[in-house]
A and B are shown apart, each in its own frame.
Chain A
Amino acid sequence: MPNDAQSKEYAITLTNISKGFPGVQALEDVSFTVAGGEVHALLGENGAGKSTLLKILSGIYHADSGEIKMNGKHVDLRNPKLAKQAGIALIHQELQQVPELDVAQNMFLGNPLTRFGLFKDHAKMRQKAKALLTQLDPSIDVRTKIKNLRVAQRQIVEIAKALLVEATVIAMDEPTSSLTPIEFEKLVRVIEQLKAKNVAIIYVSHKLDEVFRVASQATILRDGKKIGDVDLSTTSEDAVVNMMVGRSLDIPPHESHIQNEVVLSVDGLCRNRHVQAISFELRRGEVLGVAGLVGSGRTELARLITGVDRPTSGEIKLHGAMVSFSDARKAIAAGIALLPEDRKKEGIIPLRSVASNTALPSLPKLTRAGIIKNREVATRVSELARSVNLRPHLIERPIRLFSGGNQQKAILCRWLMAGSEILIFDEPTRGIDVGAKGEIYRLIDRLAGEGRSIIMISSELPEILRLCDNVIVMRASAMAGKLSRAELSEEAVMSLAITGKLVA
Chain B
Amino acid sequence: MEDTLITRLKNMDISWRDMGTVAGLIIMVIVFSSLSDVFLTQRNLVNILQQSSINCCIAIGMTLVIISGGIDLSVGPTAALAAVLSGTLLMAGYPVPVVISTALAVGLCCGLLNGVLIAFAGLQPFIVTLGTLSLFRALALIFTGGNPVLGLPNEFRQLFASQILGLPVPVIVVAVLAITATVLLKMTPLGEYILAVGGNEEAARVSGVPIERTKVLTYMISGGLASLAAIILMARLGAAEPTLGNLWELEAIAASAIGGASLMGGKGSIFGTILGAIVLGAMRNGLTLLNVQAFYQLLATGIIIILAMLVDRLARGRG
A-to-B contact residues, CB < 8 Å: 306, 308, 327-329, 332-333, 338, 340, 345-352, 356, 359-361, 363-364, 367, 370-372, 374, 414, 418
* Chain A: minimal CB distance from B210 (Å): 6
Q: Which residues of B contact A351 (CB under 8 A)?
A: 195, 199, 266-267
Give the distance to chain A from B198, nearest Cβ to Cβ, in Å.
9
What 1/0 mask marks residues of chain B from 170 to 210 whose CB sits below 8 Å from any chain A CB?
00000000000001000111001101100110111111111
A373–B134 CA distance with the chains assembled, in angstroms = 43
**A346 to B189, Cβ gap below 8 A?**
no
The smallest beta-carbon distance between B195 and chain A, in angstroms, is: 6
In this complex, which of B203, B209, B266 has the most chain A Cβ atoms within 10 angstroms of its Cβ?
A: B203
In the complex, chain A residues whose CB is within 8 Å of the CB of B192: 356, 359-360, 363, 372
Enumerate chain A residues within 8 angstroms of B199, measured Cβ to Cβ.
Answer: 349-352
Query: In the bound complex, how far is the Cα of B267 from the Cα of A352, in angstroms?
Result: 9
Q: From known contacts A308-B205, A328-B205, A367-B188, infer whether A349 and B210 are also in contact, taking CB-CB under 8 Å.
A: no
Check if A350 sits within 8 Å of B200, measured CB to CB: yes
Given A352-B195, A360-B208, residue A345 in contact with residue B187 (CB < 8 A): no
Contacts of B204 in A (CB 8 A): 349, 360
Taking A328-B205, A372-B188 as known contacts, 11 extra A-B pairs with beta carbons closer than 8 A to each other, sorted by chain A number, are A327-B205, A328-B206, A345-B203, A348-B200, A349-B195, A356-B192, A359-B192, A360-B209, A367-B189, A370-B188, A372-B187
Q: Is the CB of A349 within 8 A of B266?
A: yes
The answer to whether B189 and A372 have CB atoms under 8 Å apart is yes
Q: Which residues of A contact B183 (CB under 8 A)?
A: 371
Whether the Cβ atoms of B189 and A329 lie closer than 8 Å is: no
Contact B187 A349 (CB under 8 A): no
- Chain A residues whose CB sits within 8 angstroms of the CB of B187 once the complex forms: 371-372, 374
With both chains docked as a complex, state the minimum distance between the C-beta of A395 and any C-beta of chain B, in angstroms. Answer: 13
Judge whether A349 and B208 touch: CB under 8 Å.
no
CB-based contact A361/B200 at 8 Å: no
Residue of A at shortest CB range from B264? A351
- Give chain B residues whose Cβ lies under 8 Å from the Cβ of A367: 188-189
What residue of chain A has the Cβ atom nearest to residue B204's Cβ?
Answer: A349
- Across-interface contacts of B206 in A (CB, < 8 A): 306, 308, 328, 338, 340, 346-347
- Bound-state CA distance A223–B22 (Å) is 41
Contact of B207 among A361, A370, A371 (CB under 8 A): A361
**CB interface residues, B 204-242, toward A, < 8 Å:** 204-210
Q: List 18 A-B contacts (CB under 8 A).
A: A306-B206, A329-B209, A345-B202, A345-B203, A346-B200, A347-B206, A349-B196, A349-B199, A350-B199, A350-B200, A350-B266, A352-B195, A352-B266, A360-B192, A361-B207, A370-B188, A370-B189, A372-B187
Cα A360 to Cα B187 in complex, Å, equals: 13
Which B residues touch A372, using CB under 8 A?
Answer: 187-189, 192
Expressed in whole angstroms, the minimum distance between the Cβ of A429 and any Cβ of chain B is 19
A328 to B203, CA, bound (A): 11
Distance between Cα atoms of A346 and B183 in the complex (Å): 28
Closest to B209 in A: A360
Chain A min CB distance to B156 (Å): 32
Contact, CB under 8 Å: B196 / A352: yes
Closest-CB distance, B84 to chain A (whole angstroms): 34
Report the bound CA distance from A351 to B269 in whole Å: 13
Q: In the complex, what's the smallest C-beta–C-beta distance from B57 to chain A, in angstroms?
A: 23
> Is B205 touching A360 in the complex (CB atoms < 8 A)?
no
> Which residues does chain B contribute within 8 Å of A414, judged by CB atoms?
207
Residues of A within 8 A of B208 (CB): 328-329, 332-333, 360-361, 418
- With both chains docked as a complex, state the minimum distance between the C-beta of B168 and any C-beta of chain A, in angstroms: 30
Q: Which residues of A contact B200 (CB under 8 A)?
A: 345-346, 348-350
Within 8 A of A (CB), among B244-291: 266-267
Closest 8 CB pairs of A and B: A363-B189, A349-B199, A332-B208, A361-B208, A329-B208, A360-B207, A346-B202, A349-B196
CA distance A346 to B203 in the complex (A): 4
Chain B residue nearest to A418 (CB atoms) is B208
Contact B203 A347 (CB under 8 A): yes
Question: Most chain-A CB neighbours within 10 Å: which of B193, B200, B206?
Answer: B206
Give the complex CA separation of A35 and B23 in angstroms: 57
Least Cβ–Cβ distance between B81 and chain A, in angstroms: 30
Given contact pairs A360-B192, A372-B189, A349 touches B203 in the complex (Cβ within 8 A): yes
Q: Are B205 and A348 in contact, with the CB atoms below 8 A?
A: no
The smallest C-beta distance from A329 to any residue of chain B, in angstroms, reads 4
A328 to B187 alpha-carbon distance, docked (Å): 24
The distance in angstroms between the C-alpha atoms of A418 and B209, with both chains bound, is 13
| Assembled-state Cα–Cα distance A360/B199 (Å) | 13
Complex CA distance for A329 and B199, rounded to whole angstroms = 18
Give Cα distance in the complex from A356 to B209, angstroms.
12
A contact residues around B193 at 8 Å (CB): 363
Q: How far is the CB of B312 from chain A (nearest CB, A)?
A: 14
A89–B203 Cα distance when bound, in Å, is 35
Minimum distance in angstroms from A357 CB to a CB of chain B: 8
- Which residue in chain A gives the minimum CB-CB distance to B191? A372
Instruction: A356 to B200: give the CA distance in the assembly, Å.
Output: 13
Q: How far is the CB of B122 from chain A (nearest CB, A)?
A: 14
Nearest CB in chain B: distance from A331 CB, A: 8
Separation of A308 and B195 alpha carbons in the complex (Å): 20
Tell me, in angstroms, the Cα distance from A363 to B204 when the chains sit together. 13
Q: Which residues of B contact A328 (CB under 8 A)?
A: 205-208
Q: Within the assembled complex, what's the spacing in Å between the Cα atoms of A327 and B213?
A: 13
Bound: A352/B192 CA distance, A: 9
Query: In whole angstroms, what is the CA distance A346 to B207 when docked?
Result: 9
Q: Which residues of B contact A361 (CB under 8 A)?
A: 207-209
The CA of A340 and the CA of B189, in the complex, are separated in Å by 23
- A332 CA to B207 CA, complexed, in Å: 8
CA distance A340 to B203 in the complex (A): 9
Residue numbers in A under 8 Å from B207 (CB-CB): 328, 332, 360-361, 414
